[in-house]
Every structure is written in C-alpha cells, then in structure tokens.
Amino acid sequence: MAKDKDVRFSKFGTVSFTGVTQVNDFIDYLEQGKIMGTVCKDCGQKFFPPRAQCYKSLSSNMDWFEVTGKGKLVSFSTLRYGPTGFTDELPYTIALVDYGDYKVFGRIDPAVSNPDDSLKVGMEMAAKPAKTSNGQLTYVFQPA
Amino acid sequence: MAKDKDVRFSKFGTVSFTGVTQVNDFIDYLEQGKIMGTVCKDCGQKFFPPRAQCYKSLSSNMDWFEVTGKGKLVSFSTLRYGPTGFTDELPYTIALVDYGDYKVFGRIDPAVSNPDDSLKVGMEMAAKPAKTSNGQLTYVFQPA
Amino acid sequence: MSRVAVIGVGQSTFVRSYPGSIRELAFEAYSEAMKDANIQNSDVDATVMCSAPEYDKQRSPAGVVAEYLGLNPQPTFYVETLCSSSSTGLKLAYSLVASGLHDCVMVLGFQIMSQLTSNESQERMGRGADIQWESTFGTMMPAYYALHAQAHFARYGTKPEDLANIRVKSATYGVLNDRAVYRKPVAHEDFLDPQKMGGPVASPLRVGDCCANADGSSCIIVANEEKAKRFCKKPVWILGVGAASASVNMVGRESLSGLAVGIEAGKQAYKMAGITPKHIDVAEVHDCFTIAEMMAIENLGFAEAGGGPELVRAKETYKEGSIPVNIDGGLLSKGHPIGATGGSQVRTIVRQLRDEADNIQVKDPMFGLVHNIGGVGLYGSVTIFGRE
Amino acid sequence: MSRVAVIGVGQSTFVRSYPGSIRELAFEAYSEAMKDANIQNSDVDATVMCSAPEYDKQRSPAGVVAEYLGLNPQPTFYVETLCSSSSTGLKLAYSLVASGLHDCVMVLGFQIMSQLTSNESQERMGRGADIQWESTFGTMMPAYYALHAQAHFARYGTKPEDLANIRVKSATYGVLNDRAVYRKPVAHEDFLDPQKMGGPVASPLRVGDCCANADGSSCIIVANEEKAKRFCKKPVWILGVGAASASVNMVGRESLSGLAVGIEAGKQAYKMAGITPKHIDVAEVHDCFTIAEMMAIENLGFAEAGGGPELVRAKETYKEGSIPVNIDGGLLSKGHPIGATGGSQVRTIVRQLRDEADNIQVKDPMFGLVHNIGGVGLYGSVTIFGRE
Ligand SMILES: [Zn+2]
Ligand SMILES: [Zn+2]
C-alpha cells in the first residue's frame, strides 16, 4: 500500500505532527465515514492503528478492515490543561476502548455531558468518525 | 562568577542560539572592547573561550585575562552557503588562530579582500572586537 | 560475570531555573562525584551522557559536555530513554565494564527545562506520545498517568486519599533534602483546597499528585572490581540490572492498573541479584506522579497487586517502615530533571548503603533498589545494589 | 572476553525522500536483517536505536520503532553520536553481549532528513557545532571539513585534484550499488564545471567533494558465540572495537590535517584485534567529504600522514588495489542518512567477509574494517571484523 509521498495524514487530529506515512489511505476511509485498521494477509494479525507492514510475517501484504461494533471502556481521564494547540478544546476526555482483537485510543464525544460521572470503566462504547473543533478529521467514542 | 539568570550572551553573534551562561561577563568586556578568556586561580590553566569552572581543579575559582598580541593562522575557509540567518553575510571567511597557550575561532574581518588569495596558513593574525552586519557583538581577525 | 561497583556519586541541587548552561550544570554533579571517588579524569575510560534532547538547542550535547569536563579523548556518547535515561546509562556503563572493554565509566545525567519558553515547553509536551496516533488527541503525561489511576481505582477500589498519602510522605522527607525543589510540608487538608494541592489536572489526578519540572544534573562513576577496591573504601556493588520496554501506544497495553515494564525489569534484576523483594532494605522508585509510586510498590513486589494503598496507609514506606520508599523526598519533592533523575535515585541508594545518608539513614541496609521509568511505562529500569 | 559475531545485516535503499515514516523506513532494514539471520523476534534480547534526533518530530523514537517492529517487552534505548550513531550502537551491542547480559542484540539505525522544510533543515545545520562559541559565526559541516582540507593542503601540498580522485573512485562503485542515491559516473572534467562538481561550497571544497543527505535505515544483529554458531552458517566476528572523542570546538584541536579520533579509535581496534593496518583486506571509511576519506586513509595507517594523495593516485584504494576503500560507493555515492550510515558500512564489510558482495567482491578477505566519524572528528569509531 505504499503511496507516492503525500501529506494526507496531516488532516488527522486537532494538531497534526506528521503528514507522511504509508497508511495515508486511513484518511480517505475516515473521510468516507469509516475507521479502518489493517490485517496481515499472511498471518491474519489485526492492527489498530493500521500498519503498512507486519513484523510477524516480515511483509507488507496488508488488507484494510473496518472497526465496527462495541468495545469496553478500559479507562478515561478528563484534562483541565492541554498542550499548545489543544487548549481551546479544554476540558476534554481521552479514553481507551478494548474491542477484543485490538484496542482503540481516542476522545469521548464532547456531547457526552459530565463524563467523569457518567462514564464507568467496563461500559460499552462505540467509535465513530467526527470532526475536531477546528475542522480536522478525527473519531470519537460514545456510550453504546 | 555565577550571576543571576540573565540573557546577556544573546548579544553575541549574527544569530544567537543561547543566552544563559555563567560567563556572561564576556559580553560586558566585549562591549568595552576587550576579548577575554578565563584563567584558573588554582592551577593556572587558561581557557578560551572562557569557562566558569576548571575540571583540573574541580573549582570555579576563576579570573579573566585579555586576549592580546598575535597568533598564527591555523586554517581558514570561505563559505558560499550558510545556515539560516547568516546568508545575508555570504561570502564570509572563518578561521582558527593559534595564540600558543590557547586558540581562538572566529571570522576574518570582511574588510580583508580576496581572503582565499591573501591569507596563508601560518601568517600572523590579531583578533579585535567588532560588530556583525546586524549590529550584534563579535570579534574578527586581521593580518597583524 | 565480573563484579562492577559504584565508586562515586554526585548531584547538583535541583532547582526551578538554573542560571547557566548544560555544561556548567553538568559540572556540578561531575565535580561532586569526582571528589567523592577521589580519582582523576585520566582514570575515567568512557562517559555516558544522558538527557532528553528536546529541551536544549545544543545538538549532540555529549560532545560539548565531555569537552567542558576535560574528558577527551575518551569515548563518549549520548543515550536516551526519556525519564529513565541515566538508569539506562548505568546499565550500559555496567556492560562496558563487565565486558572488559573499560575499567571505569562515568554516567552523567543533566537537564535544563527552564530555558524553553512556556510555549516551546507546551509544544514539546504535545509531542511526548506517538505523534501519529496519540499526540493528535491532545495527550499529556499527567493524563496518561491519570488513565492508570482511573484503572487502579476501578480495579482495586483505590481512592484519591490513598494517592494523597504518598504525597504527604514524600513531603515529610522533601523538607529534609536540601537538594530538593519542593521543601514545604504537605497535609491532607491541602488536597481539599483547589488553589493548592487539590486543583484538578487530569481526572482523577490533582496538582498534589504531580511532580514539578526542574533543572539538575547527576553523576555516577562505576569501576571493575580491581579498580573499585583500589580507589574506594566503600564500593557499592551493582548486583542486578533489569530493563524492559512496552508499546508507546496505550492500545498495546494489556492492563493500565500497573506498568508491565516495572514488573519485567524487576524480575530480571531480582533474578540476577539472587534475592527477592523481601530482601530490599531501602528503595527509590519512579514517582513522577503519586499513582506511579503506588504502581511501583505493587509491581516490585513490596505489596501484592492492589495491596499498595494498605501498605502506604500503614506507613510501611516511611523510614521506620518495613520497606522505606523515596525517603529522600522522591521526584514529587526533589523535582524531575529528566536526564538527571535516575542518577539522583542511585546517589540516594549508594549513600544509604555506605551509611552516609545523614538524617534519612536507614539502619544497616544490605540491599537497595532503584526503579526508574521512562515515558508512561514505555521504558523501565530496575537496578539492585548491595554493600560488601 | 567471550566472542561476539554479526549474524544478520540489512539496509534500506538510500533515497532522497522516503515516502513514509521512520517506523516504516526502519522496517525495511529490520526485515532484511531478520531474514538474513533467519531468527524470530523472541530471539532478540535487546535493541539499540540509533539516529540524530533533530530531523523528526517524534520524541524518543526508540519506543515507537520497537513497538512497530514487535520488539516489546525487550529493552530498547536510543543512542546518538551524530553521524557515527550506529557504530556506537554496535559497540554497545558488543558490550551487552560480551558482558553476558544479553545473548543477541539488534542495532537499528534510521534517519529521514527529507521531511523537514529547507528552512528547518538549514536552521538545524546552524546548530551543529557548539551553539555558544562557534555556531554563532555561521559555521556548517562543509566549512569545518574545508578547514581540514586547507590545513592538509598547506602541510602536505595536497591539491584539489587529489580530492577529486576520491570522488571519481567513489562514483565508479556508486554506479554498481542499487542501494545508493547517486549512481552516475563522475569524471575529472566534471570538477571544471561550476554548474556540476566544480561549484564552490566552502573553499577549498567544491560540490563534488561533498556527499548528499539521504533517507535510509540499516540493521545489524549480533550474538554470542553459542547463538551465532546455532543461528548462522557464516558468522562474522567482531575482533576489535575502538572509540574516541575530541573537543567540539576547533580551539581544542592539536592539528587540523587529520582527525585525532580516527587515529585513537584505530589504535584501540588494531590492538584489541591483534593486527596491523597491513592485515586489512577491505575497508569502509567515513567519507562525508573527500577530505574525510583522505584523512581516514592516513589516520588508519593505510598510508603515512601526507601519503594519502599518492596512495589514491596509484589507485591502491580501488577494488584491485592493495587496500580497497569504500568500494560500495561510500557516503559520497550512497548518501548519508546520519543514523543509518555506520550500519550500512558494517553491512558492506560483513557481505565481503561472507563472500557475498557480488560485483564488488574482494578476493578471499580475512579482515575488514569500518571507520565511522561523528561530527567533524568529534566522535570516532573503528571496528575490525574477521571471518572464521
Ligand atoms: Zn503477518
Ligand atoms: Zn584549575
């Protein structure tokens, strides 16, 4: 899935720190409303976030798969301070969700009110594509 | 010679990368027209560029001394490309001069014409305080 | 394997803002360690320079610092594992000596964090995780440790007060440490005040749960058995070294209620030293946040998983307790000058094992342990020391 | 001291601009070396990650790369000595194995220099020296090597054509190397054209005297004797390792007509291997600039001081000569992806000693040498390899 050098990945996240990667197609899928990981055609290992290469098979023979269904909330935290570029969005809540075969890291949907009270470790969550406050691509978790 | 935190050193050089050092007095001397090194009061070791501490004596018991007289030109090179912030001054010639007890690194006085032809390794040079093209503090070498 | 000993230790005072450059700051730890070991530069066969590179504009600082300290033409190099850089440096120094390549190696850690502008500092903070997949969400160190705290709370019923107990203990000893940044006592009531320790940072962590940045340097000198016995009256032997890594991305972690690198590095170190957690008489563990010390206590086997809060509540980690932990004030009191941190921990343990720890001396310790974590459980080092 | 062997080598193609991230680029060298060694990740006990940190926004890249390559929970760390980072990494891997701490260690070098903007790149170039006392004068790498060339010219009567001879030889082999950036032949006439090799850079160096930046990765896997013999049909033994440092500031240098670190590191490596320069059958030396190769030839004892130009003129450094040097095209042809450079040199020598060097194979070499310099003679590494 190697591409010519492009900077599609710089569309990802409130602040982007990198634009060049061999999994830039992740961005196209996200624009189409799909959160995608990769799966190794040789050994079946699933990767999220997606990888272009598999260390188990020493190959770059990869397919895309879609992150669907529900996962369990592993942990979460609401930030009152943030790094440069993110402070306008404060407070926001980050979270880790376990889908079984893989986990997904991201933010809780800002529409969820009082996340520190309403969220519980272990509850079911689902990820969906979204836009950041400054119009960049991202995805968020909602209680499912 | 430790000082309260100050950024006097940021006056040194066409582009300055650092402002905070315990030998900031170097700047005051340069403003007074003196190029100064330090000498360890415990062991007599001379340091140019100046240091605030002596590794031989494990102490910070230092005096200042003035760089005077002539040195021998060890080598030189005229740059046709330069880093960000220096390109307006191109071409310029850097040089290393040996004073015996210590050496001094810097630029040849831009008033020296055709440095690649007029300079010879081994010839006598003297350093004197000067200003850079953007008004910062520096020193330059002239044939002596 | 031939034996390797620590023969000299040094540390600058850790301060909010050092009025000088990294070379000048490094000199402070270097000169103390050289005087402590009572050796000459010509006795030092190599130097290992440890820091995190983003905080100073000097590229390749190993060269600048080695020149300033007069340590040419001996080899020098730069090593980094974030906050555990100088513990990694110590492991490398151990291997350079144990392999027979060198007789005596210096490990120098330094960090000046105060010379960046606040904006520059915040920007670097934003790049502390995987910049492709996690930094993009606006993460920071306190938030990652907060995820671990939340998971510990959910799994074991741990409460914010259990974490506050750790800070109160830390401050008890910070008051006594004249090299520490934070030297005021802390009471539980301070956590009730949102203007003081109780201010929210990243739930469930509060201001009092977090250590402060600092500028500082540390220096550890190690030598082989022959040189150690020649140079040194009280060599402190390195008995076990362990190190491990984990995924940077949280998605690669099995669990967030402990740090796998701490468990794995500890196992390696105990095995190599041939002892168990019960043998440790005094420990320095990585307490960049209160939850980090709580997990370390459990991960190192001083308590069972989930048993940390009770051990702490019972004051067993105080100087008089069964396993004194961070009784130099820890990072929570000393401050955390990234590259210098591990060396400072080692200095504390070495002074304990030499019976030179003054007002925090534990009675007749035989074995001491240093636990140093880089990133949020990304890198882990555990080193076990013993006296003759 | 127990024996340590190289059991696997890999390298990406060196390119002007790699269309991916450092983790993806590192994979290319890693996967070649793993296939070459025919081992599993579980056989690798530790990894050493080598690069210069200023060229990528990812902080602490060791963690990100180890995760991507599936090399958790084994310890990993980052090491830097500028352009000699992966040779320093190899020395550390050697010591980690020879000390008995680990059985098998991977050294991974990588660098992406193309993703910075031209401005960012020029800014970093400006901070390549002592930022307090030399960068302030507007120095750059070519200018520092130019000072050395000027001094060599003055002392020995060396001429620009002597340096051009080195580039012409380099290009002869660059044409044959499908992993190299620059693959066109170079003739002496090209140095007469100011639009081509003859353009002035920093007197007396011209465009043709300088290597190009590149993106690339390299991977070297080493193991102890038992594992090497189990995993590998043609282990290549590390017989000598030498390393040295010099002052960053030119004011601390005794002489500019050679590099003290090359001389010192070479002495150490020859002594440890128990051989002399005459025993070396094939060498890779650090030729970031033509003058660097000239000094290396003299500093390593292949010629006397000042005797380099004549040795080069007589084509003794060609494949058929008495001491073939950089017959993979060297950095002048391959390009110079800082952190990956040393590993690429090692790969070339290992392939020679295994008789697997294809179109550049030297006949029955017994001993090979790698000379890798960091900065302008700031750091120096020399490693000597031998076959069974
Ligand atoms: Zn696979
Ligand atoms: Zn002195």
Q: What is the pLDDT of residues B65-102, one digit of tens each?
A: 999 999 999 999 999 999 999 999 999 999 999 999 99
Percentage of chain C exceeding pLDDT 70 = 100
User: Residue A6 — pLDDT band, cuts 50, 70, 90?
Assistant: confident
pTM here? 0.98
Q: Looking at beta carbons, which residues of chain C come within 8 Å of A49?
A: 132-133, 249, 251
Q: How far is D65 from chain C (nearest CA, A)?
A: 9
Best interface-test mutation with D: which of A22, A46, A56 has the largest number of D CBs within 10 A?
Answer: A22
How far apart are the CA of D133 and the centre of ligand 2, in A? 21
CB contact under 8 A, D147 and B77: yes
Dihedral pair phi/psi, residue D375, rounded to 5°: 65, -155
At residue D343, the pLDDT reads 98
Spacing, Cα B46 to ligand 2 middle (Å):
9
When pLDDT is averaged across residues C292-314 and rounded to a whole number, the result is: 98
Q: What pLDDT is attached to residue C382?
A: 98
Between chains, do C41 and B55 touch, taking CB under 8 Å as contact?
yes
What spacing in Å lies between the alpha carbon of A55 and ligand 1's midpoint? Answer: 6
Distance D345 CA to ligand 1 centre (A): 30
Distance from CA of C56 to the nearest CA of A (A): 19
Count helices and strands (H / E) in chain D: 12, 11
Nearest ligand to the C-alpha of residue A60?
1
Nearest chain B residue (CA) to C38: B58
* Strand arrangement of the beta sheet that strand A36-40 belongs to: A46-47, A36-40, A62-66
Q: In chain C, whose CA is at the least distance from the CA of D100?
A: C1
Instruction: Please say whether the beta carbons of C219 and C65 come within 8 A.
Output: no
Which residues in chain C touch residue B38, judged by CB atoms under 8 angstroms apart? none
Q: Which of D267, D303, D282 is nearest to D349 (CA)?
A: D282
Please indicate whether, in this complex, the C-beta atoms of A20 and D69 are within 8 angstroms of each other. Answer: no
Whether the CB-CB separation of C30 and C10 falls below 8 Å is answered with: yes
Q: Which of the ligands is closest to the CA of residue B56?
A: 2
Under an 8 A CB cutoff, do D74 and C244 touch? yes
Question: Which residues in B lie closer than 8 A to residue C69 (C-beta atoms)?
Answer: 55
State the pairing for strand pair D4-11/D46-50: unpaired
CA angle at residue D319 from D316 to D321, to 5 degrees? 25
CA of D68 to the centre of ligand 1 (A): 12
> Do D327 and D359 form a contact (C-beta atoms < 8 A)?
no
Q: Is D360 helix (H, G, I), strand (E, B) or coil?
A: helix
pLDDT at res. B3:
44
Nearest to A21 among D20, D35, D69 (CB): D20
Q: How confident is the model at residue C160, as a pLDDT? A: 98
Identify whether C309 is preceded by a cis peptide bond (ω within 30 of 0): no
Mean pLDDT of D186-190: 96
Judged by its nearest atom, the ligand closest to the C-alpha of residue C31 is 2
By CB atoms closer than 10 A (0-12, 13-18, 19+), residue C194 is: exposed
Peptide bond into B83 cis (omega under 30): no
ipTM value: 0.97
Look up tokens 């802390």; give the residue.
C186
pLDDT class for C196, splitting at 50, 70, 90? very high
Q: Look at residue D143 and give its three-state secondary structure.
A: helix
Query: Does C103 contact D at CB distance below 8 Å?
Result: no
pLDDT for C1 equals 58
Cβ-defined contact of D147 to B94 (cutoff 8 Å): yes
Distance (Å, whole) CA C297 – CA C285: 8
A2 pLDDT more than 70: no
Distance from CA of A31 to the nearest CA of C (A): 17
Cis previous bond, D204, omega within 30: yes
Beta strand pairing call for B137-143 and B103-108? parallel
Position C41, amino acid: N
Residue D122 is predicted with a pLDDT of 76
Percent of chain B predicted with pLDDT > 90:
94
Asked if residues B95 and B106 have their Cβ atoms less than 8 Å apart, the reply is: yes
Chain D CB within 8 Å of residue A3 CB: yes
Cβ contacts of residue C153 below 8 Å, gap of 6+? C159, C204
Residue D116 pLDDT class (50, 70, 90 cuts): confident
Q: What is the pLDDT of residue A3?
A: 44
At C2, list the tokens.
Answer: 């031939």
What's phi and psi for B107, nearest 5 deg? -110, 155
- On whether the CB atoms of residues D84 and D60 are closer than 8 A, the answer is no
- Ligand number nearest to the C-alpha of B41: 2
Would you call C336 a catalytic residue per the annotation?
Answer: yes
Q: Which residue of C has its CA nearest to D74?
A: C244
Q: In the predicted model, what is the mean pLDDT of chain D?
A: 97
pLDDT bucket at D121, cuts 50 / 70 / 90: confident
- Ligand 2 centroid to Cα of residue D265, in Å, is 28
**Residue B89 near chain D (CB below 8 Å):** yes
**D183 phi, psi to nearest 5 deg:** -125, 20
To the query of whether residue C288 is one of the catalytic residues in this protein, the response is no
pLDDT of B5 = 65
pLDDT digits (tens, 9 = 90+) for A73-120: 999 999 999 999 999 999 999 999 999 999 999 999 999 999 999 999
Q: Which residues of D are catalytic?
A: 83, 336
Closest-CA residue of B relative to D253 is B103
- Strand pairing class (A103-108; A137-143): parallel
Q: In terms of C-beta density within 10 A (0-12 exposed, 13-18 middle, 19 or more buried), how is residue C364 classed?
A: exposed
Residue range C342-360, pLDDT digits in tens: 999 999 999 999 999 999 9
Tell whether the model's pLDDT for residue D5 goes beyond 60: yes
Pick from C4, C77, C84: nearest CA to C46 = C77
Q: What is the pLDDT of residue B2?
A: 44
Predicted confidence at residue A24, as pLDDT, reads 96
The CA distance from C178 to D230, in Å, is: 55
Q: B5-24 burial, b if ≥16 CB within 10 A, otherwise e? A: eeebbbbbbbbbbbbbbbbb
Chain D CB contacts of A58 under 8 Å are 31, 34-35
Q: Kindly tell me if the per-residue pLDDT of C125 is higher than 90.
A: no
Checking if the pLDDT of D27 tops 80, the result is yes
Residue in C83, C104, C211, C232 annotated catalytic: C83
Tens-place pLDDT, residues A14-54: 999 998 999 999 999 999 999 999 999 999 999 999 999 99
- Region C174-183: what's the mean pLDDT? 98
Spatial separation of the C-alpha atoms in residues B116 and B94, rounded to whole Å: 11
Question: Is it the case that residue B106 has pLDDT exceeding 80?
Answer: yes
Give the mean pLDDT of C199-228: 97
Which chain C residue shows the shortest CA-CA distance from B18? Answer: C57
Strands C76-80 and C46-50: parallel
- Whether residue C368 contacts residue C352, with contact meaning beta carbons closer than 8 Å, is answered with yes
CA D179 to chain centre: 15
User: Is C19–B3 a contact, with Cβ atoms under 8 angstroms apart?
Assistant: yes
| C73, C99, C248 member nearest D63 (Cβ) | C248
pLDDT tier, D163 (very low <50, low <70, confident <90, very high otherwise): very high
Mean pLDDT estimate for chain B: 95
pLDDT band at D127 (very low <50, low <70, confident <90, very high): confident
D28: how many CB neighbours lie within 10 A of its CB?
22
Q: Give the count of beta carbons closer than 10 Å to the beta carbon of residue C88.
A: 29
Asked if C154's CB is within 8 angstroms of A80's CB, the reply is no
Cα separations in angstroms, D18 against D14, D30, D69, D117:
8, 16, 18, 14
DSSP states along C121-189:
HHHHHHTSS-TTTTGGG---HHHHHHHHHHHHHHHH---HHHHHHHHHHHHHHHTT-TT-S--S---GG
Q: Is the pLDDT of residue C198 over 80?
A: yes
A88 touches chain D (CB under 8 A): no
Centroid of ligand 1 to alpha carbon of A58 (angstroms)? 7
At residue D376's C-alpha, the angle toward residues D371 and D380, to 5°, is: 30
User: In this model, does residue A1 exceed pLDDT 50?
Assistant: no
Chain B residue numbers with beta carbons less than 8 Å from the beta carbon of D129 are none
CA distance B67 to B63: 13
Interaxial angle between packed helices C290-299 and C141-156, expressed in degrees from 0 to 180 and rounded to the nearest 10:
50
